[in-house]
C-alpha cells in the first residue's frame, strides 16, 4: 500500500479537498470559461477526470516509465475524449484546455508541501512525478482538441468543395461547371475530378468551365485550367473556358499568362453556342 506522500494516497484520502481546490484554481486562472461551460459541467468533468486519475494511479508507474498510451491509462483517455469533444464544440482554446488541466497542480502541490515539509528529497520526487503525469494528460488533451478541430475543418472543407463545384449536364453531351471564388490547388484538383467523372457519367463531348465568378486569374490558376483542359482532351472531350471578362483578359495578358490550345469565350452564352456547334445542335427561334 503506498504511503500518504504519493499522489495516489492523497487522492484516495483527500479527493474532495483536491477537487474543490482544483475548481478554485480554474476560476483563478480564468480558464473556467463559465460563458462556454456551465459550473455544473465543469465540476462534473473535473470530478470524472480526477476519479479516473485516482483509480488508475495505484496500479500505474508515474516515474520515468510513464506512458499515457498504456492500457492502464485507458479510462483517463476515455474521460479526456468526452471532455475535449464537449469543449471543442464550445470553442474552448488550446491554452484554456491546457491550463484547465494544469491548474490541478496547485491544490496537489499545496498538500504535498504540507505533507512532506520536512522531507525535501521526497517532496522533489513527488513534485516531479505528478508534474510529469499532469503535463502528459494536459498535452494529450491539447492534441485531442487539435485533432478534433482539424477533423472539423477537413469535413467542412470537403463539404464546401463539393457544393462549390457542381458539374451539371446542361444539354445532351454537354456538361458545365461554374467556378466561384479562389481556385487553389486542392479545389482545382476536385474540380478536375468532378468534370472528368461527369464526362464519363453523361458521355459528354464538351465541358464548359465558367470562370465568371473566379476572383483572380494568375499563372497558377491558368496552370490549373490548362491541366484540366489537357485531361478533358485525353478523355476524348473538349474544354471551353468562358467568362473571360475584360478585366480578366487584361490581367491575363499583363501577367503574361498564356492559355495555348484552349477554346475561350467571353460568356456562358457564347460558350454554349460553341458547344452546340461542336455536338451538332442547331438552335432556332420558334
Q: Would you count residue 196 as binding other proteins (CB under 8 A)?
A: yes
* SS3 per residue for the chain: CCCCCCHHHHHHHCHHHHHHHHHHHHHHHCCCCCCCCCHHHHHHHHHHHHHHHHHHHHHCCCCCCCCCCCHHHHHHHHHHHHHHHHHHHHCCCHHHHHHHHHCCHHHHHHHHHHHCCCCHHHHHHHHHHHHHHHHHHHHHHHHHHHHHHHHHHHHHHHHHHHHHCCCEEEECCEEEEEEEECCCHHHHHHHHHHHHHHHHHHCCCEEEEEEEEECCCCHHHHHHHHHHHHHHHHCCCEEEEECCCHHHHHHHHHHCCCCCCCEEECCHHHHHHHHHHHHCCCCCCC
Q: Which is nearer to other proteins, 234 or 283 (CB)?
A: 234
Choices 29-37, 212-220, 226-234, 251-259; region in contact with other proteins by CB under 8 A: 226-234
**In angstroms, what is the minimal distance from the CB of 124 to other proteins?**
34
Q: Would you count residue 199 as binding other proteins (CB under 8 A)?
A: yes
Q: Which is nearer to other proteins, 49 or 198 (CB)?
A: 198
Q: Would you count residue 175 as binding other proteins (CB under 8 A)?
A: no
Give the x/- contact pattern for other proteins in 202-221, rule: CB under 8 A: -xxx----------------
Q: Would you count residue 230 as binding other proteins (CB under 8 A)?
A: yes
Q: Would you count residue 68 as binding other proteins (CB under 8 A)?
A: no
Q: Would you count residue 157 as binding other proteins (CB under 8 A)?
A: no
**In angstroms, what is the minimal distance from the CB of 241 to other proteins?**
16
Looking at 227, 249, 253, 258, which residue binds other proteins (CB under 8 A)?
227
**In angstroms, what is the minimal distance from the CB of 232 to other proteins?**
8
What does the binding site for other proteins look like in residue numbers (CB under 8 A)? 147, 192-193, 196-197, 199-200, 203-205, 227, 230-237
Amino acid at each position: 500500500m503506498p504511503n500518504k506522500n504519493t499522489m495516489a494516497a492523497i487522492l484516495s484520502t483527500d479527493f474532495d479537498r483536491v477537487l474543490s481546490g482544483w475548481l478554485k484554481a480554474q476560476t483563478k486562472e480564468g480558464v473556467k470559461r463559465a460563458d462556454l461551460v456551465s459550473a455544473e459541467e465543469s465540476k462534473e468533468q473535473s470530478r470524472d477526470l480526477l476519479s479516473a486519475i485516482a483509480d488508475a494511479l495505484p496500479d500505474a508507474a508515474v516515474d520515468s516509465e510513464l506512458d499515457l498510451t498504456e492500457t492502464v491509462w485507458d479510462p483517463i483517455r476515455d474521460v479526456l475524449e468526452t471532455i475535449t469533444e464537449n469543449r471543442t464544440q464550445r470553442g474552448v482554446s488550446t491554452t484554456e484546455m491546457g491550463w484547465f488541466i494544469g491548474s490541478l497542480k496547485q491544490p496537489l502541490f499545496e498538500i504535498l508541501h504540507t505533507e512532506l515539509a520536512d522531507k525535501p528529497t521526497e517532496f522533489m520526487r513527488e513534485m516531479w512525478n505528478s508534474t510529469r503525469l499532469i503535463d502528459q494528460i494536459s498535452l494529450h488533451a491539447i492534441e485531442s482538441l487539435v485533432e478534433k478541430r482539424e477533423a472539423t475543418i477537413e469535413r467542412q472543407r470537403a463539404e464546401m468543395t463539393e457544393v462549390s463545384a457542381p458539374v451539371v449536364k446542361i444539354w445532351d453531351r454537354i456538361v458545365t461547371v461554374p467556378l466561384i471564388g479562389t481556385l487553389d490547388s486542392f479545389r482545382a484538383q476536385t474540380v478536375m475530378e468532378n468534370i472528368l467523372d461527369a464526362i464519363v457519367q453523361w458521355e459528354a463531348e464538351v465541358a464548359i468551365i465558367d470562370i465568371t465568378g473566379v476572383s483572380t486569374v494568375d499563372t497558377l490558376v491558368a496552370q490549373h485550367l490548362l491541366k484540366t483542359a489537357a485531361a478533358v482532351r485525353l478523355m476524348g472531350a473538349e474544354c471551353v473556358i468562358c467568362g473571360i471578362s475584360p478585366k480578366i483578359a487584361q490581367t491575363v495578358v499583363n501577367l503574361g499568362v498564356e492559355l495555348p490550345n484552349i477554346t475561350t469565350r467571353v460568356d456562358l452564352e457564347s460558350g454554349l453556342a460553341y458547344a452546340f456547334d461542336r455536338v451538332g445542335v442547331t438552335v432556332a427561334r420558334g
